[in-house]
Structure 1
Amino acid sequence: MIKAFKMTVVFALTSALFGCANLSRSSDRGYGSKNSRRSSFNKRSSVVNKSPVPERDLINVSETTFLKKLENALSGRKELEQYSKALPWFSSDQEKIQFLQLPDFESRQRWLSDKGFNSRSSLVQSEMKELVEAQDIAIGMPQPLVRQSWGEPGTIEVSGNPQFRNERWLYHHYVSTPDGYKSEKKTVYFEGGKVIGWDVE
């Protein structure tokens, strides 16, 4: 009887051990080898030891957030139009912030005058004259110059408030090729009235 009991226990243990041996487990879960545990630890430590976000990037994010807050605070039609007209000629987000932090329409108008905004459009036009004459565009090119270079777009799609000039312009032309005329689609992307990129298909 005792011998039969011992045999049963030995058989049960042997079956359990062989059963576990046949199980397939992921190397990064449960019963991994020491090496797999070490590599798993290294994976985790590499995530933990990632270098912090550069301060410059944090400043850019907070600056952009602050700018959006100031833009959204513009309520009157007159103020929105004033900002919209000046938008393509700002040289940086810092300039936009300086402008928007001024208390009223008149002080903003004085600021534009003091900064020479009236002559900025002609200055930019002279800088980009060759591009316009070659019917080309460039990053940072204001919308009026894109119109001069590529003409009126077939479709204008607006993102958000139209006064902020975040737009996508779609052009559709037929161009001459050695194999005859072919359809060409151009898409220009604007942020704040300036080109940030384009696609040609």
Structure 2
Amino acid sequence: MFIRPYIPAKTQPVRDLTSPLLVCRATQMSPSATKILPVVAGSQLTVEWHHYNDQDSDNVISPSHRGPCLVYMAPLESNGQGYSWFKIYEQGYDATKNMWCTDVVREAHGKLTVTIPTEINNGDYLLRTEIIALHNAKVVGGAQLFPNCVQITVTGATFGSPELHPIPGIYNSTDPGILFNIYKEGGATYEIPGPPVYPPPAQ
């Protein structure tokens, strides 16, 4: 209902970091193809991933497909084009628990909760969620990216001016977080790709 229609093969990743599919993995990029979900700035929004169906019993993603989760936002009027994106969330590897974000999502039956920043402008946005599976990422072109986009309208925000980035354009094929041997290097050395999270975490 609020999700941009994605490619028919739900489990098909994006490997080409220059592909238009990297924006939302969408077959229909028209804003009118999707309704808009009202969200209050500072509130939490739960997104879901599923492997084959949309039930809690689904295994969400293969346990071999381990890697980070990232969430970006862009003004809806941009339709995700050009320098319009800023990152609001990232989670990679937790050494204390020996868990990647994908492990956390699997344990939560596909759910991940993020907070909508208050330091932005009110208005309509694309919210882009992404999992990067690293099981084949030891070779160039091996990382598997699974982006999807939700349309939201934000109220109750204060003024903000995050630095904007293009998608495609935020990742290069040789970035440490894209070209990574998960079996040899281990999660403790992993660098999450892309720009820093906005707003910056409190020191």
After TM superposition, the score normalised by the length of structure 2 is: 0.21
Larger radius of gyration: 1
**Structure possessing the higher relative contact order (Cα contacts under 8 Å, 6 or more residues apart):** 2
